[in-house]
A = this chain, B = another copy of it.
Amino acid sequence: MRPLDGYFFGDYFIGQKFVHATPRTITTGDTALYQALTGSRNPLHCSEPYAQSLGYPTSPVDDLLVFHIAFGKTVADVSYNAVANLGYADCRFVRPVFAGDTIRAETEIIGLHKNSSGKTGVVYVRSDAFNQDDQLVLTWARWVMVHCQAVSAPTNAQTDPLRVPQFAAFVAPDQLSVPACMQRSSLAAGVTGSAHFWEDIPLEVPIRHPAGMTIDETDHTLATKLYQNTARVHFDAQHMAGSRFGRRLVYGGQVISVCRALSYDGLENALSVAAINAGAHTNPTFAGDTLYAVSTPVAKWPLSQHIGALRVRLAGYKNVDPNTGAFASATDAQTVLDLDYTILMQRQA
């Protein structure tokens, strides 16, 4: 049984499996809160008639909200004592989730690497999320830096073979799931705010999204509590006052969601997220930081007559607006997100 103070690096071994606690039913209360917390305007998720015009029975839950809730389930077993969430890979959104569905998650330890300091190690995991019918809705790999051990105790990791898994640079197009229902929207192109479709997006041309969004302390703590993410770095100001940051850290997933929401202006006809190919939180974000986003499409594949996939590099910045001259002298410390993800997009009629 999980120790009350969570697992440490020495507690993990390759092949170890966790069935995470507390399945979670998602409601329209959650989706409204998600919108209030991120400013999302993706019409697939906020307009039932638009979702229906695409063939969905009703609006699916935002993929990133599903991700955060599923991710939240894994924290108690995987990253309760994490120093940092280092990266994501091979994340695939397999099946849409609707209000009323219940999500549960399982995880397998797929890699371990002890850092030379001996104080921390990197734990690689594969997590799967299922709905109430035991259908896979989402699968992802991530790796986190974890403290080795609070106190002296047998550490499996020292005797077990260590292994660093390799991941493909991106999810191949034939592995992307297009919801079976997805057809061309019968609604006017302008309903989404743009007549620019999949064919109209040039590759390697950065889209500097115009808006910025400041994150306040309550924004990110409400979000992580909603996601039932219990990583104490987000919640416990007393504890964090003694950390090297001196204060609470914004959950990286919230940074992803805000940057994705900002990217609506310029990618209005994006539909769902099909994959997260790779991702890293390059710097911490704190309450009071203002986030900006730049999307750079890097590849595109037609998936069906009506739907194309667009692989995008989504960069997040704090406190420097990419639309201003100051951006030219932005420092590395001002980048907060480097996300490589693949979205589905409507094709031209």
Q: How distant is A202 from chain B, measured CB to nearest CB, in Å?
A: 15
Assembly stoichiometry (copies): 3
Tally A residues with Cβ within 8 Å of B.
Answer: 79
Nearest neighbor of A196 in chain B, beta-carbon distance? B1
Contacts of A244 in B (CB 8 A): none
Contacts of A338 in B (CB 8 A): none
In contact, B1 and A194 (Cβ under 8 angstroms): yes
Nearest neighbor of A239 in chain B, beta-carbon distance? B212
Interface positions of A from 19 to 57, Cβ below 8 Å from B: 19, 21-25, 27-33, 35-39, 41, 43, 46-50
Interface string of A203-214 (1 = CB under 8 A from B): 000001111111
In contact, A321 and B21 (Cβ under 8 angstroms): no
Contacts of A268 in B (CB 8 A): 21
Contacts of A208 in B (CB 8 A): 4
The answer to the question of A143 belonging to the interface, with a C-beta cut-off of 8 Å to chain B, is no
Contacts of A238 in B (CB 8 A): 212, 214, 290, 319-321
Nearest neighbor of A44 in chain B, beta-carbon distance? B22
Q: A212-B239, A214-B236, A238-B212 are in contact. Are A192 and B31 (CB under 8 A)?
A: no
The answer to the question of A102 belonging to the interface, with a C-beta cut-off of 8 Å to chain B, is yes
Across the interface, A214 reaches (CB within 8 A) one of B38, B48, B248, B319, namely B248
- What is the bound-complex CA distance between A29 and B27, given in angstroms? 8
Q: A4-B265, A33-B36, A194-B1 are in contact. Are A237 and B218 (CB under 8 A)?
A: no
Q: A23-B43, A29-B30 are in contact. Are A6 and B210 (CB under 8 A)?
A: yes
Interface string of A8-26 (1 = CB under 8 A from B): 0000000000010111110
Across the interface, A29 reaches (CB within 8 A) one of B31, B210, B212, B265, namely B31
The answer to the question of A230 belonging to the interface, with a C-beta cut-off of 8 Å to chain B, is yes
In contact, B30 and A225 (Cβ under 8 angstroms): no
In contact, B230 and A221 (Cβ under 8 angstroms): no
In contact, A25 and B59 (Cβ under 8 angstroms): yes
Contacts of A224 in B (CB 8 A): 39
Across the interface, A213 reaches (CB within 8 A) one of B1, B21, B236, namely B236
In contact, A49 and B290 (Cβ under 8 angstroms): no
In contact, A290 and B48 (Cβ under 8 angstroms): no
In contact, A235 and B211 (Cβ under 8 angstroms): yes
Across the interface, A323 reaches (CB within 8 A) one of B5, B39, B211, namely B5
**11 pairs across A/B with beta carbons < 8 Å?**
A19-B188, A22-B193, A23-B50, A25-B46, A25-B48, A28-B29, A35-B225, A41-B230, A49-B102, A219-B221, A238-B320
In the complex, besides A48-B100, A76-B193, 17 extra interface pairs with C-beta distance below 8 angstroms are A1-B195, A2-B193, A5-B210, A19-B191, A21-B193, A24-B46, A29-B30, A29-B31, A36-B222, A37-B222, A37-B225, A39-B225, A49-B102, A211-B235, A214-B235, A214-B237, A238-B321
